[in-house]
Amino acid sequence: MKRTVATSDEENLRFDVDAVLLDIEGTTTSIKFVKETLFPYIVTEVQRHLENTWDTKETQEDVAAILDQVAKDSSSTETDGSCGLKADDGSVKASKSSEKLGGDGKSSIEDGNPPESSTEDVRPSTGVGASSSDDRESMIGSVVRAVHEMVEADRKIGCLKQLQGHMWRKGYADGRLKGHLYEDVPESLKRWRASGVKLFIYSSGSVEAQRLLFGHTEYGDLNYVFSGNFDTSSGFKADRTSYSHIADRMDIPVSRVLFVTDIAAEARAAQYAGMKVLLSDRPGNVAGLEDGEHYPTATTFNSVHITNGTSTRKAKRL
């Protein structure tokens, strides 16, 4: 039997950690915003985006990656979820198009803005580039259909995440998109950071998509509060080894990290790895707890009090 969320005395939500690792959807940002604003934007705008940017290197790489995935799906070739073929030893063997991908799908532990769009005019005579207007129209139609199907199936694959990030960049830049945050999130993030705790993001969306959302919120650009971003290039979120890997990248003991998510399977994996965990109980969330499973749970970050005893002890010794 599955339950939605565990109950918790929110007056006692106190954590002494060096870092907070945050999920986005259902944790800092409404699931409704993702499902009813971000994803529909991709569906309605993908054809226009491809037509307007077809001759750029970035779009040619996006198209190649999508078509690679379609071919692999059609042939039932095993994939690792990031548009790469698995070699015999289980390691990822990238296709020619995915080898060239840059900016998206990479972990980042540096503050900064998303990479700028590549506007290089490639117009290749072979490969993805269509040799005639009819070929181009046909290929765009194929990519549009594939993207619609991927979005409808909510596939967590790198080629789709990459294209989404590139499209959302334009939507945020021209004001058609504005990143949603729960109203308690901005001040809570600033409060936690002021206490000496480092803040990080770990989401299935690409690092670029994460930075775009927090860079264009209703409360201004909040990217400055984060010390780094991680996506599924660091591992899948239900895999405990992902959290150990991320803690290593942070250079922080795994036991000194608090992971905040709305999904029990992710909380379970993080806890197995040694992290402290907190479930986010926002409207519309369904955590999927197993019988007898319990985690501290918050309905608002206002009730979450975080201190950094490590930095306090260091300051006292100085």
Average pLDDT over residues 296-315: 83
Q: Is residue 72 part of a domain?
A: yes
Rg, C-alpha atoms of the chain? 21
Domain boundary among 146, 173, 200: 173
For residue 80 the two structure tokens come to 């690792």
pLDDT tier for residue 314 given thresholds of 50, 70 and 90: low
Give, as one character, the DSSP assignment of residue 36: I
Amino acid identity of residue 256, one-letter, is R
166/187 same-domain check: no
Question: Distance between CA atoms of 144 and 112, rounded to whole angstroms?
Answer: 31
71/141 same-domain check: yes
Question: Distance between CA atoms of 287 and 76, rounded to whole angstroms?
Answer: 31
Amino acid identity of residue 300, one-letter, is T
Place of tokens 């290749």: 124
123/219 same-domain check: no
Intra-chain end-to-end CA distance of the chain, in Å: 53
230/152 same-domain check: no
For residue 279 the two structure tokens come to 């479930």
**Residue 230's domain is classified under what CATH number?**
3.40.50.1000
pLDDT tens digits, one per residue of 241-277? 999 999 999 999 999 999 999 999 999 999 999 999 9
Q: Is the pTM of this model over 0.85?
A: no
Q: Is residue 131 part of a domain?
A: yes
Domains in the chain: how many in total?
2
Q: Is residue 1 part of a domain?
A: no
Q: Which domain holds residue 135?
A: 33-104+118-173
pLDDT tens digits, one per residue of 8-63? 555 579 999 999 999 999 999 999 999 999 999 999 999 999 999 999 999 999 99
163/133 same-domain check: yes
For residue 265 the two structure tokens come to 């399977």
